[in-house]
């Protein structure tokens, strides 16, 4: 695996590869890699000649300094995992390399997608994500970039950014990877205390019940039920639960048979904030 720290090095390597007509798959990450990341890399390997993975804990997308400072860093293990799935290139830039002088985000307009859910609770988060992903796309110019559906709102926002800025990269969303007890894989899971780790499978259990109830109750009744269930849970704190339409990400009271819906949830387990979502079947 080739490892590059600077834009200049990686650009010159990839330019030479493109001249040989090699296609490039790209998986942006913040490190602390788990099976979910590896599934994106495996998918990218199937469809591209070369796979580039970036590891960069992007400061501008954190609205909480403690979360940024304590974000898990496991570079040695990440490198081993990347070698095990035959990753071709690892891009490991510094903040100065990506942001040059000022570590600030650009401002984006995602036609309202950015004002829903995570956007309401994490001010500036999506401007930070879009700034870094757009910068990576400019440096790497990938044919296809891979994102997990756990961050479904992020996935929709990246697709919107590509459309609005007429970028050449195709965006591929990949399924959520779960632990055996249903917990969605996330780098932040390693920071859970033993008590919280035992408690968090509750999140997926609730989402599964929501999926069952989706054809019986209306979205308001389901939301109230979820909120009541979390009030009874003394270990976890619900930040939001909503059922939203996949394209607009807006919460909808009435279901339409020609639209796709998802249940979205954000929960605090102590100081660790977890998000998850599940597609709902509209019978």
34 catalytic per annotation = no
Write down the least CB distance from residue 275 to ligand PAF, Å. 11
In whole angstroms, give the CA distance from residue 28 to residue 246: 23
In the complex with ligand PAF, the residue whose CB is nearer, 157 or 210, is 157
Q: How far is the CB of 28 from ligand PAF (least distance, A)?
A: 4
Helix extents (H) in 165-200: 194-199
Residue pair 161/134 in contact (Cβ under 8 Å)? The answer is yes
Pick the catalytic residue from 37, 121, 125, 196: 37
Q: 3-state SS of the chain: helix, strand, coil percent to 5?
A: 45, 20, 35
Q: For 233, list phi and psi in degrees, rounded to 5.
A: -90, 115
Beta carbon nearer to ligand PAF, 30 or 267: 30
Are 11 and 17 a contacting pair, CB within 8 Å? Answer: no
Shortest Cβ 149–ligand PAF spacing (Å): 11
Choice between 5 and 15, CB closer to ligand PAF: 5
Least Å from the CB of residue 167 to ligand PAF: 15
Identify the helix (H) or strand (E) that includes residue 246.
Answer: none
| Calpha distance 195→280 (Å, rounded) | 30
In the complex with ligand PAF, which residue's Cβ is closer, 78 or 151? 151
Q: Which of 190, 181, 155 is nearest to 274 (CA)?
A: 190
* Of 56, 37, 48, 73, residue with least CA distance to 131: 56
Instruction: By CB under 6 A, name the binding residues for ligand PAF.
Output: 28-30, 58, 61, 129, 132-133, 151, 154
**Least distance from ligand PAF to the Cβ atom of residue 161, Å:** 11
Shortest gap between Cβ of 153 and ligand PAF (angstroms)? 11
User: Hunting for tokens 């609005």 — which residue is that?
Assistant: 164
CB-wise, 209 or 273, nearer to ligand PAF?
A: 273
Residue with tokens 């997608």: 113
* Separation CA 61–CA 28 (nearest Å): 14
Instruction: Pick the closer one to ligand PAF by CB: 173 or 255.
Output: 173
Residues contacting 74, CB < 8 A, separation 6+? 31, 32, 33
Q: Could you list the active site residues?
A: 37
């Amino acid at each position: 695996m080739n490892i590059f720290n600077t834009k200049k090095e990686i650009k010159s390597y990839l330019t030479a590869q493109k001249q040989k007509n090699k296609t490039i798959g790209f998986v942006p990450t913040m490190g602390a890699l788990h099976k979910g990341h590896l599934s994106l890399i495996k998918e990218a390997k199937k469809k591209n000649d070369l796979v580039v993975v970036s590891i960069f804990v992007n400061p501008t997308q954190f609205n909480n300094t403690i979360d940024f400072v304590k974000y898990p860093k496991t570079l040695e293990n990440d490198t081993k995992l990347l070698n095990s799935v035959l990753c071709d290139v690892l891009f490991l830039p510094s903040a100065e390399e990506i942001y040059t002088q000022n570590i600030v985000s650009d401002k984006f307009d995602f036609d309202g997608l950015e004002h829903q859910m995570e956007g309401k609770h994490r001010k500036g988060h999506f401007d930070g994500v879009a700034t870094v992903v757009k910068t990576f796309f400019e440096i790497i110019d990938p044919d296809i970039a891979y994102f997990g559906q756990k961050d479904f709102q992020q996935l929709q926002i990246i697709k919107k950014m590509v459309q609005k800025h007429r970028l050449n990269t195709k965006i591929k969303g990949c399924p959520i990877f779960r632990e055996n007890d249903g917990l969605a894989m996330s780098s932040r899971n390693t920071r859970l205390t033993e008590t919280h780790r035992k408690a968090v499978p509750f999140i997926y259990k609730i989402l599964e019940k929501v999926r069952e109830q989706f054809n019986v109750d209306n979205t308001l009744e389901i939301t109230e039920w979820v909120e009541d269930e979390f009030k009874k849970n003394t270990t976890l704190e619900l930040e939001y639960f909503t059922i939203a339409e996949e394209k607009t990400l807006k919460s909808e009271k009435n279901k339409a048979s020609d639209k796709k819906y998802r249940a979205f949830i954000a929960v605090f387990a102590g100081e660790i904030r977890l998000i998850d979502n599940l597609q709902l079947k509209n019978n």
